Amino acid sequence: MKPKRACVIHKIGMSKTVLVTGSSGRIGQAVVAELIHRGHAVRGFDRAPTTGLDDCITAELSDRSAIERAVRGVECVVHLAATPDDADFLTELMPNNLAGLYHVMEAAREAGVRRLVLASSGQVNWWQQQTGPWPIAPNDPPSPRYWYAATKMFMEAIGRGFAETHGMSVIVGRLGWCPRTREQVAEIAASEWSQDVYFSPADTGRFFACAVEAPDSLRFATVYAASRPLHQPRFDMASAKELLGYEPKEQWPHGIEVIQAFVAPPTSP
């Protein structure tokens, strides 16, 4: 089966039931909107309600019973929920990025979920991003930025373990930078490197939808995903195109208006 057929499955009545963890976040809302647009049935899971999504469980990643309810009847899990950058390891990264991952993956396995799409980060190759050589390929040796990136490396490793041990289809996406604050938008505007790894909300939605719709025969894959680079390619996204049918359509600064509308405006002093 050619990869691009995966992206037309929804058009011929073969929609999937998909759980999106972290559904109320800036990436989560883009993924939910794109999946619904393509005709999939979407269930959300987040600590806050997800705007426009009736089927949503509001709970913490530490609530195993809530996660078990969320995965019932689901064919695919898109796991986005996590502490999204470096933070205190013991109080934030460990419970959210490690223990929370454990609960989601084990509950999905026990429920018979056939596909996991896991959100990793370009930070697992942070130092190569800074110094090259470019573009960075999925099989290049990791060079993690710090503890957050280390939790993503753990996720990638156990994802491969689930694929081989339990026969699940697992797709890992090493994501570019989809800013979550106005300050991060300003950082990207001031840096050519950042503009080359920018990931617009619309492109994130398309990427995860393509991962959901990829051929069932795909057992395990790690791919890079971002928008089109403005100056030079930092990530080798050939495997995302070949295996998933994903091709970015936007580049910096497309989509920043969506991000700026998503975050609250700064308060007056």
pLDDT tens figures, 258-268: 888 876 544 33
Local structure of residue 217 (DSSP, 8 states):
T
Give the pair of three-digit tokens for residue 136: 């960075």
pLDDT (0 to 100) of residue 269: 31
Provide the whole-model pTM.
0.93
Amino acid identity of residue 43, one-letter, is R
- List pLDDT tens digits, range 51-72: 999 999 999 999 999 999 999 9
Q: Which amino acid is at 95?
A: P
Residues 5-46 pLDDT 10s: 445 444 445 799 999 999 999 999 999 999 999 999 999 999
What number of residues does the chain have? 269
Instruction: Tell whether the model's pLDDT for residue 149 goes beyond 90.
Output: yes
Task: Give yes or no for a contact between 5 and 215, defined as CB atoms under 8 angstroms apart.
Answer: yes
The pLDDT tens digits of the residues spanning 210-243 come to 999 999 999 999 999 999 999 999 999 999 999 9
What CATH architecture is 3-262? 3-Layer(aba) Sandwich (3.40)
Task: Output the pLDDT for position 153.
Answer: 98
What residue ranges do the domains of the chain occupy? 3-262
pLDDT score for 7 = 56
For residue 66, give every residue at least 6 positions away whose Cβ sits within 8 Å of its Cβ, in sequence order, or none: 45, 57, 59, 60
The rounded distance, in Å, linking the Cα atoms of 197 and 58 is 32
